[in-house]
Amino acid sequence: MSFEPKYIRHDTWDFRKSSIFDNMMSKHGDRVQKRQFMLLLIIAGALFAMIFVFSLSATLSEWYISVIYPVVGAILSSVSTLFPFSLYDIFLILAVLLLVKLILFAIIRKITFSKFLFSLIRFVTVIVAWFYFSWGIAYFREDFYERSDVAEMTFDPEIFRDFAVRFIDHANRYYADCTDMAKNDVRRKVELSYQALHQSLKVSYPNGKRRVKPMMFETVYSKMGVSGYFGPFFNEIHVNNYSLNFTYPFTLAHEMAHQFGIAPESEANLYAFVVCARSSDERIRYSAYASTLRYVLNDIRRFLPEEYESLALSIRTEIIADLQRNREHWLAARDESLSEMQDKMYDAYLKTNKVSSGQANYSEVVGLLVSYGILAELPQ
């Protein structure tokens, strides 16, 4: 026998399902989101304003790189040296994937536009602030002439010709066969050079740790013609193992200069030359001259065209062979489309960071060398 109730109440009020409750929660959620969005805008605005102030003040930026950056670099490099692989490369991959995911979610409407905008502003703020406060402020610091006691020399054809002749003479004298080169030994000796010269170069030492990392996408970078790069997010140095032996010490010293807070490529080339040219290892000394010689030859062709052939013919045939072999080595790996894309992107990156000459900044090392008078200080 079944029992059937005579009276069932259908009007039981469930507080959790009420429209009033939904409205209240919706309004509360909107208020929370608005507060979070406003807080994000305030933080982002403050960080970007600080970066802008640094970009306007070389003195303030110099203080940051001299006082704060060595601590930041020490912390970041202490973490990155624990890993044999590049944290910078992994970071870039994850950042790109996150950005792509964010855009796709917005397209398929899995997230609202307000959430997309919030996430995008947060993403950009983290990347930009991390880049500049971990290292990028180095682009705004005083230039080499202001940091040193060296006066910038105005171009004089006779002075430049004398420099070019002496540079080629030094290169010929310091030629060395680099077929047999232990890279670990090179790293140790380049580090010792920086340690010995850091006061005259006016860099903070030790300024963190330096563990040279392999490139995760070495083949792709080789197609672009990239021999090395510095990863600012984790204070990491990368050198392309595709490089020929005689260029390795100079490339390593160049990337180490970036790690020491030297941002412009011309200045990093100058520091690399000074450090390598004063090394006790003949192969490292030769790397300084052979790697810089192409910039000198380019300027000879530009400023002393009538003397280019005779000066070029005065270079040892072994050095010419090394330079030609290096050119053919990189051309064999080069992908024209990738190389041109990388050149344009890096040119724009440098110009955005107040390096007005862009990629041409590399070759400006010759003017720095002439003004610095480094050849007069080296053994004749």
Spell out the per-residue pLDDT of the chain, length 380, in tens: 444 444 444 444 454 455 654 555 555 556 778 899 999 999 999 999 999 999 999 999 999 999 999 999 999 999 999 999 999 999 999 999 999 999 999 999 899 999 999 999 999 999 999 999 999 999 999 999 999 888 898 999 999 999 999 999 999 999 999 999 999 999 999 999 999 999 999 999 999 999 999 999 999 999 999 999 999 999 999 999 999 999 999 999 999 999 999 999 999 999 999 999 999 999 999 999 999 999 999 999 999 999 999 999 999 999 999 999 999 999 999 999 999 999 999 999 999 999 999 999 999 999 999 999 876 566 55
Q: What is the DSSP letter of 154?
A: P
Contact 99, 123 (CB under 8 A): yes
Backbone angles phi, psi at 378, to 5 degrees: -90, 155
Q: What is the DSSP letter of 153?
A: P
**How far is it, in rounded angstroms, from Cα 19 to Cα 354?**
57
Which helix (H) or strand (E) segment holds residue 7: the answer is none
The edge-to-edge listing of strands for the beta sheet with 228-231 is 212-213, 236-239, 228-231
Task: Tell me what pLDDT residue 176 has.
Answer: 97
What Å distances lie between residue 244 and 102, 212, 273, 324, 375, CA to CA?
A: 41, 16, 17, 12, 25
Task: Tell me what pLDDT residue 307 has.
Answer: 95
Location of structure tokens 């703020």:
125
Task: Tell me what pLDDT residue 31 has.
Answer: 77
Backbone angles phi, psi at 171, to 5 degrees: -60, -45
* β-bridge partners, 238: 213, 229
CA angle 184, 327, 185 (to 5 degrees): 10
**How far is it, in rounded angstroms, from Cα 258 to Cα 145?**
17
**How far is it, in rounded angstroms, from Cα 149 to Cα 146?**
7
What Å distances lie between residue 164 and 184, 300, 326, CA to CA?
A: 32, 8, 22
Task: Tell me what pLDDT residue 27 has.
Answer: 58
**How far is it, in rounded angstroms, from Cα 20 to Cα 374?**
80
Location of structure tokens 């060395």:
176
Please give the radius of gyration of the chain, using alpha carbons only, rounded to the nearest integer: 28
Question: DSSP E strands: which ranges in the chain?
Answer: 212-213, 228-231, 236-239
Task: Tell me what pLDDT residue 26 has.
Answer: 56
Task: Tell me what pLDDT residue 19 has.
Answer: 60
Q: How far is CA 300 from the centre of its chain?
A: 29
Backbone angles phi, psi at 195, to 5 degrees: -65, -40
